[in-house]
Amino acid sequence: MKKFSLWLAAVLALPLTAVAQQRQVYELRAWDFSRDSINWKPVSVPHDWAIEGPFDKKWDLQIVAIEQNGEKEKTEKSGRSGALPWIGRGHYTTTISLPQLAGRRALLEFDGAMAEPEVYVNGRRAGGWAYGYTPFRLDVTSLLHAGDNRIDVHLQNVEESSRWYPGAGLYRPVRLTLTPRLAIDPWATALRTVAASPQEATLQVETQIDGAGGRQNLAVEVSVMHPGGWVERAAHVGVDGQGRAAADIVLPRPHLWSPESPYIYKVEMALYEDGRLVDQTVMKTGVRTVSVDSVHGFRLNGVSRKLKGVCLHHDLGPLGAAVNRAALVRQVKQLKDMGADAIRTAHNMPSQMQMEIYDSLGMMVMAESFDMWRYPKCRNGYARFFDAWSDRDIAQLVLANRNHPSVVMWSIGNEIPEQWSEEGRDIARRLQDLCHRLDPTRPVTQGMDRAEAALKSGFAQVMDVPGFNYRVYKYDRNLRQLPQRFLLGSETASTVSSRGVYKFPVVFQVARAYADGQCSSYDTEWCSWSNLPEEDFMAEEDKDYDIGQFVWTGYDYLGEPTPYDEYWPSRSSYFGIMDLAGLPKDRYWLYRSEWNRQDHTLHVLPHWTWPGREGKVTPVFVYTDYPEAELFVNGRSQGRVRKAAGLQVDDQQPATGSVARERARRYRLMWDEVRYEPGELRVVAYDAQGNRAAETSVKTAGRASGIKLETDRRQLHADGEDLAYVTVSLVDKNGTELPTATDEIEVSVSGTGRFRGICNGDATSLESFVQPRMKLFSGKLVVTVQAGTAPGVLRLAVADKRARLERTIDIAVE
């Protein structure tokens, strides 16, 4: 094997040169990768070895009964974990050139490695981990030397170990940190807001000095700084015989962190030995309090609010599990525009990159850990590791994340089968206590799907925050048995839809399989255990005890193609409010109309290009925050419709088809008898006073006469990682998009950047995410392009050979 890699050293810029020599961080990006230890190729980490495909039902073909879905018989589940080649072994190797360690300590840090990583340094075992989502650190001081050092990581993924696509490889950053022998450890440092008001806040800083071993001559200088660098308050604190230092720092007129105002303070800590500076580090945090009780519900900074959250899997669609800052930022911006303020990291530990973005852009987080404990939900799942590893995994989750202001609660599990047993209750108590010991400031929750069983065993009653997955109609009953006197919709909706696909006749129903493998974008289909968004809106609005919800899911994800678990080809979910390409489905506007209180929403569906449906009933729905609207087809009024009042969740039974349809009228405006004719569908919205307030329309599209390109970014950073997402569609001569086009699009990138991925949001597509061509799905696809490391221009060229159309777009790389 020929060698090797380059490493990128990001030396922390510190004001004092004496210290700058001491603490160094090396981001380990360049590795060689192999599946068989024979054939190697250079890769850039974060890296997901399976995302290149090809898709095939043979990968992780599971012949199982999904008990959580109420199945009794085993059947073939082909796309359950994404139908991508993530099973098996993978090997990574890199070489890093180091200076003399000169008494420094070396920590090799993995933000997660999929899965069961075994790490070797210079041929000697440095350690390993079991769970692929856990951040972990290995002390490799004794294994390193000055000069070239080789690091090898061996991974293995076993079949039937996941209910979804987990990704494969070093999918999150890896770094090596050299610290002085006497050092401040960020994971041993807690930054806690213990009190906060607009007038004053108290930030408690506690740290444990590494290597302090009984010394009496240490002190720490703590400075709380604003983002611009000016110091708000500083404190000089002694270090006790156990190496501990603590200070309560009072901040006058603090900038309190919230999703609306995500203010980040820097906390600089300088460690002195006999008055000589020996280590210095800067951490970030936000100042805010979190509480939950039966009187005020959930409170951030003392203000009650309901969580408007979404559950997110960790994969990033066509990028797979390889984490990327720009991809995550794009998600947060879209979710915030929808009015969401919270994310549940379902069902595992988030990456640090994610958490930093949630901190700085303002998203509250339920940071989750497990999808199972002892009792396996899939044959080789985490249950294999639970007894030996669960305490360590929970500890890592809390220690790595407790200084992120965005985290508002910990979750110790999702739909844990043991919820009906006393053993389960005892484990819940143990894991919750562990969270409390490591972080006394946040409540602990978990998502329960068997309300009666969990209430009978006492499992639900022990939780700080009882979280219930689905079954809104049971909330009232659950509440009566809960000493907490409040509850959280830890997982809601599971409505299914395919972007831009509309099924006729429009039926409100438990999702069924259609021949084309798609679900209706009329947002009328849910799972047997779940419901439409409207049921959750009603609970959120009408029930004081309901502290909010996390919708399943914000984005489609790889694997779990319910209701097509047994259908091939289908390899990704239909639950998303956004599709796998990150394009909003109609449902996006339904949530936006209810959650975004700053901006108006007026969205009409379906599209209006239906050759062959002339004269046929084609219902029209409008999602809007306005209470009333009038619909026109080619200028002829179809009547004025107002949102219905007086509708509520039934506390006895789930909504059936016709009941769900009626209740939906509280939130959506529906014209059920419209007959299609080509032309224009126009809607005029009226405000609460009856004034004409807004108007929108959709038109019938003609033949393709151009390509439309819309980019989310016009300028990228020349860092080799930044991304732009360019949406491609076809338009007719009037600029109207062709909503059903399926043409194949070819793309090429020139200049300072490269093609990174392509995705159309079609769960049944087996086209590769990494080849520069794909068919449009419901008229659209999204191309992801990646900046190079040199400044210049990235040019994306897009061609539709069938329609003989071409178009380019230039993106600046700076």
Residues that bind ligand GAL (CB under 6 A): 68, 347, 414-415, 449, 469, 491, 494, 527, 530, 552, 560, 562
Give the separation between CA 56 and CA 52, rounded to whole angstroms. 12
Query: Using alpha carbons only, what angle is made at residue 722 by residues 721 and 725, rounded to the nearest 5 degrees?
Result: 125
Give the separation between CA 674 and CA 695, rounded to whole angstroms. 19
How far apart are CB 449 and ligand GAL at their closest, in Å? 5
List the alpha helices (DSSP H) in 381-505.
386-401, 422-438, 451-457, 475-480
Give the separation between CA 767 and CA 775, rounded to whole angstroms. 8
User: 562 or 593: whose CB is closer to ligand GAL?
Assistant: 562
Residue owning tokens 């530990």: 349
Q: Is 491 one of the catalytic residues?
A: yes
Residue owning tokens 């419209």: 674
Residue owning tokens 């009037």: 734
Give the separation between CA 711 and CA 496, rounded to whole angstroms. 27
Residue type, 689: Q
Closest CA to 416 of 440, 444, 450: 450
Give the separation between CA 169 and CA 251, rounded to whole angstroms. 43
Closest CA to 695 of 610, 630, 778, 782: 630
User: 207 or 494: whose CB is closer to ligand GAL?
Assistant: 494
β-strand pairing of 200-210 with 183-184: antiparallel
How far apart are CB 69 and ligand GAL at their closest, in Å? 8
- H or E segment to which residue 357 belongs: helix 352-361
Give the separation between CA 352 and CA 365, rounded to whole angstroms. 13
Distance of CA 363 to the CA centre of its chain: 11
State the residue number with the nearest CB to ligand GAL: 494
> Does 115 sit behind a cis peptide bond, omega within 30 degrees of 0 on the bond before it?
yes
Give the separation between CA 294 and CA 214, rounded to whole angstroms. 46
How far apart are CB 321 and ligand GAL at their closest, in Å? 16
Closest CA to 352 of 173, 176, 187, 178: 173
Which tokens is 101 given?
Answer: 């360690």
Residues 116/76, Cβ–Cβ less than 8 Å: no
DSSP letters, 529-561, are T---HHHHHHHHHH-TTEEEEEEE-SB--BS--
- H or E segment to which residue 20 belongs: helix 17-20
Residues 397/437, Cβ–Cβ less than 8 Å: no
List the alpha helices (DSSP H) in 89-227.
none
Catalytic entry in 491, 560, 630, 767: 491
Residues 791/813, Cβ–Cβ less than 8 Å: yes
Residues 678/555, Cβ–Cβ less than 8 Å: no
- The DSSP call for residue 418 is G
Please tell me whether residue 387 adopts helix, strand or coil conformation. Answer: helix
- H or E segment to which residue 782 belongs: strand 780-787
Exposed/middle/buried for 2, CB within 10 Å: 0-12, 13-18, 19+?
exposed
Give the separation between CA 549 and CA 486, rounded to whole angstroms. 12
Please tell me whether residue 266 adopts helix, strand or coil conformation. Answer: strand
Catalytic entry in 268, 415, 418, 594: 415
Residue type, 298: F
Residues in the chain: 814
Return all residues near 431 (Cβ < 8 A) that are at least 6 apart: 369, 390, 391, 394, 412, 413, 444
Please tell me whether residue 235 adopts helix, strand or coil conformation. Answer: strand
Phi then psi dihedrals of residue 758, to 5 deg: -150, 140
Give the separation between CA 544 and CA 547, rounded to whole angstroms. 7
Q: Number of C-alpha atoms within 13 angstroms, CB side, residue 709?
A: 23
Closest CA to 558 of 577, 580, 576: 580
As annotated, the active-site residues are 415, 491
